[in-house]
Amino acid sequence: MITLLATWTFGVTLALVALGVFVSYRLFAFPDITTDGSFTLGAVTTTVLLVTGHDPAIATLGGAAAGAAAGACTGLLHAILRIEPLLSGILVTTALSSVNLVVLGRSNVPLAGTATLLNRVEALLLPATTAAGFGAAAGEAARLIVMLSGVGIAVILLWAFFRTNLGTAMRAGGDTATMARALGRNTGLLTVGGLAIANALTALSGALVAQVQGFADVQMGIGMVVWGMASVFLGAALVGPVRLGGALVATVAGSITFRLIVASALRAGLHPDWLKAATALVVLAALIAPRLLSRRAQASAAR
C-alpha cells in the first residue's frame, strides 16, 4: 500500500516536469534540455533555503523562480543570440551543473529534521487520512492528496493563462512565428516567457521531489527531459488529438502512467541499470503507437 501510494505521489509530482515539457516542446516546439538542469536547480535552491531556516512556502517558490530564470536564459540565448534551441539548452544546463554544485555546497544535502512544505501540509491532512482508514499509509496518502491538488491547480492555472491574450499570443508564436510577428508580437520575447514558465514548473517539481524524498542531490535532474517527453507522448497516445485543456490533463495522466510502468518493470525484476534504456523504449513506443494505430484505422476504413 505504502509503496503503491509512493509510486503515485512520485508520478504526480513529476507531472509538473511533464507539464513544463508540454509548454516548451508542444506549445513552442522547443526541445528544451534546460529541463535537466532546472529540475536540480529547483531542488537545490529550495533545499538551501530550507536548511538556512526560510519558510517552506518561500523556499519552494524560490526554487521555482530560480528555474524560471534558467529557462529565461535559454530563451534569451535563442531569441537574442540566435543560438539553436537544442544548443541553447545544452549550454545553460551545462552551466547549471556548476551553479547547482556551488549553491548546494556539496553533492548531497539531507533535509532530515527540517520543516518542509510537505510535512507542514501533511500534518494538516493526517487526521483526515487516518480517519479514512489508511492506517500506516496515512502519511503517504496525505502526501498524495497534497501533490494531486497541487498539480490540479497547476493544470487549471496553465489552462487559464494560455487562454488569455498573452497566453494565446504565446501559443500563436510557438505555432507559427510568421503569423505572430505579422500581428505585432515579439516572438523572441514570447519564447523567453514560455521557457521561463516551462522551467519554473520543472524546478517546482524538483523542489517538491527534494522535500518528498528528504534530500537534494546534484545528480537528481539527469534524464528529466526524457521523462517529460515520455509523459507528453504517452499522454498524447492515450487520448489522441484534443484541445488545450484535454492535452494538459493527458500530460498529467501520461506522467502517472509512465511512473506506474517504470515501477511495474522494476517490480517484475528489471535491473535498475536498465531503467534509462527502458525509458527510451517507452518513449519510442509512445511515439510510434499512434502512427501505427492510425495506419491500421486507415487500412480498415479503406477496406
Partner 1 sequence: MLDVRHATVAFSAPGGPLVRAVDDISFTIPAGTFVVVIGTNGSGKSTLLGAIAGTVRLDAGSIHVAGHELTAWRENRRARYIGRVFQDPRAGTAASLSVLENLAVAASRGRPVGLGWATPRRLRAEAAQRLAAIQPGLEQRLDQPIGSMSGGQRQIVALVMATWHRPELLLLDEHTAALDPASADRVVQATAKLVRDQKLTGLMVTHSLEQAAGLGDRLLLVHRGRISLDVEGGAKRRLSTADLAGRFDRLRRADQLDDPAARTLRDLYV
Residue ranges binding partner 1 (CB under 8 A) = 161, 163-169, 171-172, 175-176, 178-187, 243
Which residue number, 130 or 186, has a Cβ lying nearer to partner 1? Answer: 186
CA-based nearest residue to 200, from 45, 3, 11, 10: 45
Q: From the CB of 106, what's the least distance to partner 1, in Å?
A: 42
**What is the DSSP pairing of strand 215-217 with strand 108-110?**
antiparallel
Q: Which is nearer to partner 1, 18 or 247 (CB)?
A: 247
Query: What is the 8-class DSSP label of residue 135?
Result: G
CA dihedral 165, 78, 251, 122 (to 10 degrees): -90
Q: What are the distances in angstroms from CA 117 to CA 44, 178, 210?
A: 15, 44, 11
267 class by beta-carbon count within 10 Å (0-12 exposed, 13-18 middle, 19+ buried): exposed
Q: What minimum distance in Å lies between the beta carbon of 250 and partner 1? A: 15
Work out how close the CB of 157 gets to partner 1 at its nearest, in angstroms, rounded to a whole number: 12
Helix (H, G, I), strand (E, B) or coil at 217: strand
Do residues 62 and 54 lie in contact, with contact meaning Cβ atoms separated by under 8 Å? yes
Instruction: Name the minimum Å distance from CB 6 to partner 1.
Output: 36
State which residue, 54 or 181, has the beta carbon closest to partner 1: 181
To the nearest whole angstrom, how small is the minimum distance from the Cβ of residue 197 to partner 1?
Answer: 13
Minimum Å gap between C-beta 244 and partner 1 is 9
Q: How far is the CB of 69 from partner 1 (least distance, A)?
A: 21
SS3 216: strand
Distance in Å, CB of 193 to partner 1, minimum: 11
Residues 6+ apart with CB under 8 A from 170: 27, 28, 162, 190, 193, 194
Q: Which is nearer to partner 1, 24 or 187 (CB)?
A: 187
Cβ distance to partner 1 smaller for residue 113 or 184: 184
Q: Quote the CA–CA distance of 123 and 141 in Å, as a whole number.
A: 12
Residue pair 111/51 in contact by the 8 Å Cβ criterion: yes
* Site of grid cell 496553465: 158
- Residue number with CB closer to partner 1 (268 or 301): 301
Q: Which is nearer to partner 1, 123 or 166 (CB)?
A: 166
Indicate the residue among 177 and 222 with the shorter CB distance to partner 1: 177
Burial (CB < 10 A; 0-12, 13-18, 19+), residue 240, is exposed
